[in-house]
Amino acid sequence: MSLAQQVRKKFQGVPEGGIIVSRELHRLSTESQSIDKAASRLYKTEGLRKLRNGLYYKPYASKYFGELPPSENDILRAVQKQYDARVSPSGALAAYELGLVQSLPDVITYETDKRIGPFQLDNHTICFNKVLDTKLKVVEPSLLSLLKAIEFIYAQNDELMPLQQKRIVRLLGGYSIGQVRQAISLWPRWFQGKVEPHLRTLAQPYISGLSALNIPHHGKQADWHQMGMLHSGKFQVVGENYDGAPGLGKEELFECGDFLRKFDVDVGTTLCATPTRAIKDILYANIIRKTRYPGFFMLDQYMLDLPKPEIQAVIEDLEAMANEEQMALLKEWARDNELD
């Protein structure tokens, strides 16, 4: 099959509303110039349109509005793929998208680590601002957008409106306190001082991890090392020395004060994670936060009496926040524990 035929086949495989970038086509051959020439010659005959050199899309045929271009999100994903770039909305745009302000900024701007020219769409222009910012590389993208939005609001007004404050606390609740604290350490001290009170609102320390499995839940203990834990006094406490997964529900905690008082233990909380929540926190702390396989935690080594679907649901929740490498580790752990 000739190079032109291979390019044609790729173009024919683009769905309505889909985008293909020249970076994908360059995998066909080391002769990138020949591929680009073939793409420029063939894209129209295959029903594609050009966003700009190297980015082609197949219009979506709408019954009422005719041919429509791809969505803005699809365009941004294509830009990231084509330029191998990190892209994040400006603080003003993030604040609008998260419902923290009502006004869309006059200029739609995204921050990126590569130099990218603006995109002119039918009704507006997407601009890209190259920045030298460690936060783009280090902070999880959705959390980065949220923190930039909060920074923008505080830069405009020193105080939040009551509705803004409630929404910010709810949005921050989607991340672990440790994760947020690690992220805001990259911001100036004034901003850290603004965010910290919101974290204290969210803070609800509780015993988790292997420590939680050593505390009886409904009269059952899941780990064998209770006396060792009690003797050492080393407990894993979310909000103090351990990272818990986001989205904690009240039903995932139980009161363990009687047990702690029985052994004269004070860890600053009398709340403990249920076994299911403890498993979620163990996998989150190791796979999602540290991207490492938790070989120390295999289900057949513990006295866990949990339905398989319950643990599978935990893995599905974590997959929603995992990158490609973390997803592979979750699947490997599930397979090794006969959960797949």
For 60, phi then psi, to 5°, come to: -90, 125
Identify the pLDDT of residue 197: 87
Check whether 283 has a pLDDT greater than 90.
yes
pLDDT, the chain, mean? 89
Identify the pLDDT of residue 200: 75
CA distance 316 to 321: 9
Judged by phi (left if over 0) then psi (alpha if -120 to 50, else beta), residue 11 lies in: alpha
CA distance 128 to 90: 9
CA distance 212 to 221: 9
Identify the pLDDT of residue 148: 97
Identify the pLDDT of residue 70: 83
Identify the pLDDT of residue 66: 77
Identify the pLDDT of residue 199: 83
Check whether 158 has a pLDDT greater than 80.
no
CA distance 318 to 193: 30
How wide is the angle at C-alpha 119 spanned by C-alphas 118 and 123, nearest 5°?
Answer: 125
> What whole-number percentage of the chain has pLDDT above 70?
100
Q: How far is CA 38 from CA 22, 24, 222, 322, in A?
A: 11, 14, 63, 37
Identify the pLDDT of residue 336: 95
Mean of pLDDT values over 29-43: 84
Of the candidates 79, 81, 21, 80, the residue with the CA atom closest to the CA atom of residue 55: 21
Check whether 162 has a pLDDT greater than 80.
yes
* Tens-place pLDDT, residues 255-273: 999 999 999 988 889 999 9
Q: Note the CATH number of domain 3-70.
A: 1.10.10
pTM of the model: 0.67
Q: Show me where the domains of the chain are located.
A: 3-70, 85-202, 206-336
